[in-house]
Amino acid sequence: SQQGEEDPQALSIQEGENATMNCSYKTSINNLQWYRQNSGRGLVHLILIRSNEREKHSGRLRVTLDTSKKSSSLLITASRAADTASYFCATVYGGATNKLIFGTGTLLAVQP
Amino acid sequence: GAVVSQHPSWVICKSGTSVKIECRSLDFQATTMFWYRQFPKQSLMLMATSNEGSKATYEQGVEKDKFLINHASLTLSTLTVTSAHPEDSSFYICSAEGQASGAYNEQFFGPGTRLTVL
């Protein structure tokens, strides 16, 4: 299976703290994306980082990519209760179609 | 912009019946749509890639005769779960590929359809 793995599987923090989630993948990629999913809902695209980029910021989000280690991390700074959700990384391997292969996900709970 | 809808949002059916789920791109045309399945507390697993005007491409282990996909127009793809059984109960999510900056076409996700088979 090409599915990536994320750790931790679950993370519980207090409001205001930072949350870091890690993603590892298996083969060379074109880009890596992070998504958020609230319970029982669809996915919200957070950020995309290309294979030739090492770091990207968007608001309170910071994503890093290390292609030599085949890993990425998502940092959410100054977390809020509304950040409570599942977070998934997804990789695009390219080829004829841009198929997304999702990681196993991290369930983040931010306690008010 | 780039809104994708799914209908119905949830459905309950009896074992043995067929269920059709629609995925529509509301404000853009999508040559390619994708269908995913998500079991409780698990990740999304790609089932198939749907291309307008041609046959869908199924991922390994997905039965094409059980999960019928039709992409008849640039804004509509349908997934029909034939002869549904309780083990088909899941959250089905579609995405539509649209234009974005650079070479990569971003996928826009629908809100999902919760299928429960009794």
Q: Smallest CA–CA separation between B82 and chain A, in Å?
A: 23
pLDDT for the residue numbered B64 = 93
Q: Do residues A92 and B49 touch, judged by C-beta distance below 8 A? A: no
Asked if omega into A112 is within 30° of 0 (cis), the reply is no
Cα(A106)–Cα(B69) distance, integer angstroms: 30
Q: Write the residue in A30, A44, A105 that is nearest to B104 by C-beta.
A: A30
Q: Which distant-in-sequence residues (6+ apart) come within 8 Å of B76 by Cβ?
A: B22, B23, B24, B25
Alpha helices in chain A (DSSP H): none
Please check the confidence at residue A2 and state whether its pLDDT lies above 70: no
| Chain-chain contact of B112 with A41 (C-beta, under 8 angstroms) | yes
Cα(B30)–Cα(B28) distance, integer angstroms: 6
Cα(B2)–Cα(B28) distance, integer angstroms: 6
> Looking at residues A66-90, what average pLDDT do you find?
96
**Partners of residue A104 in chain B, C-beta under 8 Å:** 42-43
pLDDT for the residue numbered B1 = 63
Both tokens assigned to A103: 């990681």
Per-residue pLDDT of chain B (118 residues), as tens digits, is 688 999 999 999 999 999 999 999 998 888 899 999 999 889 999 999 998 888 899 999 999 999 999 998 999 999 999 999 999 999 999 999 876 545 567 889 999 999 999 9
Please check the confidence at residue A1 and state whether its pLDDT lies above 70: no
> Looking at residues A42-63, what average pLDDT do you find?
94
Q: With a CB-CB cutoff of 8 Å, which residues 44-73 of chain A face chain B? A: 44-45, 48, 50
Q: Write the residue in A99, A103, A104 that is nearest to B46 by C-beta.
A: A99
Please check the confidence at residue A4 and state whether its pLDDT lies above 80: no
Greatest mean pLDDT range, A37-41, A91-95, B12-16, B97-101: B12-16
Phi, psi of B86 (to 5 degrees): -50, -35
pLDDT for the residue numbered B97 = 87
Which of A6-10, A67-71, A107-111 has the weakest average pLDDT? A6-10
**Partners of residue A100 in chain B, C-beta under 8 Å:** 34, 46, 95, 107
